[in-house]
């Protein structure tokens, strides 16, 4: 229970000034003067609102004062701003003590005031939680721009984030939150304010708190065709209506009627923004005591349609009507009925735009847990706002699952080499959906906690390179032994395998004390596990890694490939002189056989057990598989101590290097397309030409090698898997692959399919088309699918293709290729094409058979990580790929 309360207590501490002052009839108020530095808080002289500084609500930004020439005309809370010159996303986190059972008014206000002395008006976006709220555009330096939204919080936190869009530094002046009385307030979960008008205002002044207990701002509105009337009496809410946040009495006691008593009333409003739905709230109250022979009755029309007939406003009682419209303009008519002796009246109106916030915020328990981790270790990074906003703005080191309409869950946490000090954070125990946890290469101390073994979805746990001590929980070792958990814990000298431990010069010895038969079984189980771990480590550390003299894999290799002694490998590589590359499974060297055949020699990494397993997989693969678009194995070395695989040499290196903006040799469009076809055919062979099928699992541009003719070949088969039984639709495996290329469905469900390779190939194809890496190298680390999807909303295809090609490509072929790539990265594997279909589509590009219309149109749907699937509106109205 205490663990669950940690983040709550922490945030309660941060917002203590606000909570204490809530006793002054401002319960449910958070009022932040952004950039305030002179004092921690003050009370506004006009409104009596208690404002506090923002240091407890955001971790970043710089405080500034606006230019002195603007201060005289502005309230005190606008004299300062906080700007955010660094990072793409910077956020405020507001803790709402009333929780998710209420709706909230959130208001962000901005005055540029030439705070930076540049006289340059910026543009930027603001987000509410994971959802885009508004784009900020300023007309001058002195005007106050306020954006207000009524918002149904889905958690105990409200995140307001400013996004740098490359058009100037984001800033904010004031941030305010007000709790409304109930979830029934207003009709929609998210309503952005377009206008809130006090009709017939007597003095022309805005009305807000304390007159309006919810601190809504009412702007005066009058017309030359109207006559203002008012009363000093109090207006009450009509008892028959349950709508709670009614306008304050000071708004309702002024009203307007037609200047000509025989006229009707007309009110028009043209929204500045387009939306699928607008909401209008109209308020009426009779403020004159009518005589027996007097009747005030009218019909309400909205955009020519009758909303309500024979409306009789009640004396000194608030009456409201609401409606939703889809038109992009609003016109209200209040028409006097035939029996009415008095003209219609109109007291107040609110107009809102519905905000379709489709993306859910991160699961509340996960947010609490990760905030506890952040607090425990003092993590800065970009850990602001909602953790799982989108793949473009994920917290560094996090990944999330986005299953259906459920809230995103944190499934991946990588804090390797992050300078962590202390014990393993207890908050991790509440990341119930975590699948990958890497805490390696830090300075963590203490025991390995039992709760790690209770994380039932955990597939990878890396605790290497710390100062952990004591016994490893037996359940973690059991899960590691039965291959349901990839567990790495080396480099912790005081950590022992299980049970009670005694230090020795060698490995730790398990000495459990048992007094029952059950204890004896425990000894046996632990002994087996310890022996296995010792044996594996011993073999790895001494390079004694053998296929086995009588193994089927070695027999097949001997029958088909040339075997080399280690001395020959030494000569072939010229004493291991030239390194071509390094990977998880070993180092690759350049070499020559008989002075006329260039080769690439992969030597086993002496410190990687995983490298040995990948080596075995490649040996098994090449013993049975051969194709012209897969790199060829020429020979091998296995002398019991040293092990190597010898491949054909690919003179032009890997595709990733050729697509890099640092490479001066630019691949032409035709060369790129031919390479894509080559690799697609190689994958097609693995999926459809092998029995049983083979899934590569690590398709990426780095694993596509080019020979002297720029022919593309797929390489690195250490992670490849086969389907052992005919008719199986997927394999359940420990997740493996490269971030940026991993199929999100596979990442979420651990279910491997051929379509997982299709997704990875789609990412590579997008790299080929755009020249962008799978994940941008900027601080934001935007995924290429997100990047291209955003581009497609605003740009034409010709502007998405790699600009280094300088337009030297056929737009129809480029469109076809882009269609194919986006189909490959569809949300569901069911909607992705097979590699056979991909090959057919890409070959059409080469064979000049495209007859596309030029006005291609795209539509999108969100999917895990806010990557996107795409549907096609072409000649046929559908894609030929998604079958």
**Contact between residue 297 and residue 310 where contact means Cβ atoms under 8 Å apart:** yes
286 DSSP assignment: B
Collapsing DSSP to helix, strand or coil, 395 comes out as coil
CA gap 778, 759 in Å, rounded: 23
d(CA 526, CA 512): 9
Alpha carbons 684 and 50: distance in angstroms, whole number: 67
In whole angstroms, give the CA distance from residue 524 to residue 481.
14
Structure tokens at 19: 């909570």
Pull the structure tokens for residue 287.
């403020």
Q: How far apart are CA 664 and CA 654, in angstroms?
A: 15
Q: Is 805 exposed, middle or buried (0-12, 13-18, 19+ CB in 10 A)?
A: middle
How far is residue 376's CA from residue 449's CA, in Å, rounded to a whole number?
A: 16
Give the span between the Cα atoms of 644 and 543, in whole angstroms: 11
Q: Answer whether 438's CB lies under 8 Å from 486's CB.
A: no
Please spell the DSSP secondary structure of 525-593, one letter per residue: HHHHHHHHHHHHHHHHHTT-----TT-HHHHHHHHHSEE--HHHHHHHTTTTT-EEEEETTEEEEEEEE
Cα distance from N-terminal residue to C-terminal residue, the chain: 50
DSSP 772-790: --SB-SSTT--BHHHHHHH
Structural contact between residues 598 and 672, judged by C-beta atoms closer than 8 angstroms: no
How buried is residue 187: exposed, middle or buried, by Cβ count under 10 Å (0-12/13-18/19+)? Answer: middle
Selection from 812, 687, 651 nearest residue 760 by Cα: 687
| Cβ–Cβ under 8 Å, residues 18 and 29 | yes
Tell me the C-alpha distance between 839 and 587, whole Å.
Answer: 33
> Of the candidates 481, 483, 480, 503, which has an alpha carbon nearest to the alpha carbon of residue 493?
503
Q: How far is CA 114 from CA 53, 147, 171, 280, 363, in A?
A: 21, 20, 11, 36, 40
Is residue 368 within 8 A of residue 7, CB to CB? The reply is yes
Q: Contact 364/155 with Cβ under 8 angstroms?
A: yes
User: Does 843 belong to an annotated binding site?
Assistant: no
Catalytic, 698? Answer yes
Residue 820 tokens read as 């194919």
Those residues whose C-beta lies under 8 Å from the C-beta of residue 101, and which sit 6 or more positions away, are 183
What are the E-state strand segments in 792-879? 857-863, 867-873
Catalytically annotated residue among 698, 716, 757, 802: 698
Cβ–Cβ under 8 Å, residues 342 and 293: no
DSSP 360: P
Cα 36 to its chain centre, rounded Å, is 31
HSE-CB of 794 using CA atoms within 13 angstroms: 4
Q: How far apart are CA 484 and CA 860, in angstroms?
A: 36
- 26: nearest Cα among 56, 54, 49, 53: 49
d(CA 437, CA 11) in angstroms, rounded, equals 26
Residues with a catalytic annotation lie at 698
Q: Please state the residue numbers annotated as binding site for ATP.
A: 602
């Amino acid at each position: 229970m205490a663990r669950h309360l940690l983040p709550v207590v922490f945030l309660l501490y941060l917002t203590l000034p606000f909570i204490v002052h809530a006793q002054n009839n401002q319960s449910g108020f958070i009022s932040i003067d952004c950039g305030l530095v002179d004092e921690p808080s003050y009370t506004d002289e006009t409104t009596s609102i208690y404002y506090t500084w923002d240091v407890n609500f955001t971790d970043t930004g710089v405080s500034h004062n606006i230019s002195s020439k603007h201060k005289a005309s502005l309230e005190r809370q606008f004299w300062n701003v906080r700007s955010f010159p660094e990072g793409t996303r910077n956020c405020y986190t507001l803790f709402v003590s009333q929780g998710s059972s209420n709706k909230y008014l959130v208001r962000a206000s901005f005055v540029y005031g030439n705070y930076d002395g540049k006289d340059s008006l910026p543009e930027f976006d603001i987000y509410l939680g994971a959802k885009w709220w508004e784009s900020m555009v300023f007309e001058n330096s002195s005007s106050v721009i306020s954006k207000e939204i009524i918002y149904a919080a889905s958690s105990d936190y409200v995140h307001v984030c400013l996004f740098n869009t490359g058009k100037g530094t984001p800033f904010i002046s004031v941030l305010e939150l007000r709790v409304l009385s109930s979830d029934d307030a207003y009709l929609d979960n998210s309503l952005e304010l377009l206008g809130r008008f006090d009709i017939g205002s007597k003095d022309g002044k805005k009305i807000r708190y304390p007159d309006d207990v919810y601190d809504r701002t009412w702007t005066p509105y009058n017309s030359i065709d109207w006559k203002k009337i008012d009363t000093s009496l109090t207006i009450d809410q009509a008892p028959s209506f349950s709508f709670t946040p009614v306008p304050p009495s000071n708004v309702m006691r002024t009203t307007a009627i037609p200047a000509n008593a025989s006229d009707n009333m007309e009110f028009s409003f043209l929204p500045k923004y387009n939306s699928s739905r607008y909401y209008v709230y109209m308020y009426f109250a009779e403020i004159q005591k009518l005589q027996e022979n007097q009747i005030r009755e009218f019909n309400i029309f909205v955009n020519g349609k009758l909303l309500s007939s024979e409306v009789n406003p009640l004396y000194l009682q608030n009456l409201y009507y609401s409606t939703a419209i889809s038109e992009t303009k609003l016109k209200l008519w209040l028409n006097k009925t035939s029996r009415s002796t008095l003209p219609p009246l109109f007291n107040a109106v609110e107009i809102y735009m519905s905000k379709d916030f489709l993306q859910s915020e991160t699961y509340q328990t996960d947010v609490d847990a990760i905030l506890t981790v952040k607090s425990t270790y003092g993590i800065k990074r970009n850990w602001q706002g909602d953790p799982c906003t989108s793949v473009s703005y994920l917290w560094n080191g996090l990944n999330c699952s986005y299953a259906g309409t459920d809230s995103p869950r944190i499934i991946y946490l990588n804090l390797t080499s992050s300078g962590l000090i202390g014990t393993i954070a207890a908050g991790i125990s509440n990341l119930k959906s975590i699948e990958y946890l890497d805490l390696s290469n830090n300075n963590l101390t203490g025991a390995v906690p039992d709760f790690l073994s209770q994380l039932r979805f955990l597939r990878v746990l890396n605790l290497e390179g710390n100062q952990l001590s004591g016994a490893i929980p037996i359940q973690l070792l059991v899960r590691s032994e039965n291959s349901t958990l990839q567990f790495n814990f080396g480099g912790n000298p005081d950590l022992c395998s299980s049970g009670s431990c005694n230090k020795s010069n060698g490995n730790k010895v398990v000495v459990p004390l048992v007094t029952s038969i059950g204890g004896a079984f425990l000894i046996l189980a632990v002994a087996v596990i310890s022996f296995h771990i010792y044996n594996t480590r011993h073999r790895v550390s001494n390079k004694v890694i053998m296929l086995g003299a009588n193994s089927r894999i070695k027999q097949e290799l001997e029958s088909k490939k040339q075997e080399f002694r280690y001395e020959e490998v030494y000569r072939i590589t010229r004493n291991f002189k030239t390194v071509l590359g390094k990977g998880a499974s070993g180092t690759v060297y350049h070499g020559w056989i008989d002075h006329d055949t260039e080769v690439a020699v992969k030597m086993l990494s002496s410190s990687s057990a995983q490298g040995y397993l990948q080596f075995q997989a490649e040996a098994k693969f090449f013993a049975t598989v051969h194709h012209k678009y897969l790199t060829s194995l020429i020979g091998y070395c296995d002398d019991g101590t040293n092990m190597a695989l010898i491949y054909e040499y690919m003179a032009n290196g890997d595709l990733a290097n050729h697509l890099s903006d640092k490479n001066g040799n630019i691949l032409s469009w035709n060369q790129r397309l031919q390479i894509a076809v080559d690799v697609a055919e190689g994958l097609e062979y693995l999926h459809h030409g092998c029995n049983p099928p083979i899934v590569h699992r690590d398709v990426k541009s780095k694993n596509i090698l080019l020979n002297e003719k720029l022919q593309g070949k797929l390489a690195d088969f250490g992670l490849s898997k086969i389907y052992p039984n005919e008719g199986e639709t997927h394999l359940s495996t420990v997740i493996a692959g490269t971030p940026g290329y991993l199929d999100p469905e596979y990442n979420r469900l651990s279910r491997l399919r051929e379509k997982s390779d299709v997704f990875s190939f789609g990412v590579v194809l997008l790299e080929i088309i755009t020249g962008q890496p799978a994940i941008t190298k900027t601080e934001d680390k935007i995924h290429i699918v997100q990047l291209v999807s955003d581009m497609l909303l605003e740009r034409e295809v010709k502007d998405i293709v790699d600009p280094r090609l300088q337009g030297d490509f056929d737009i129809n072929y480029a469109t076809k290729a882009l269609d194919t790539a986006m189909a490959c990265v569809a949300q569901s594997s069911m909607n992705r094409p097979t590699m056979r279909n991909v090959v057919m589509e890409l070959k059409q590009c080469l064979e000049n058979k495209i007859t596309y219309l030029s006005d291609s149109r795209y539509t999108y749907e969100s999917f895990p990580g806010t990557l996107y699937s795409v549907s096609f509106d072409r000649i046929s109205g559908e894609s030929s790929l998604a079958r």
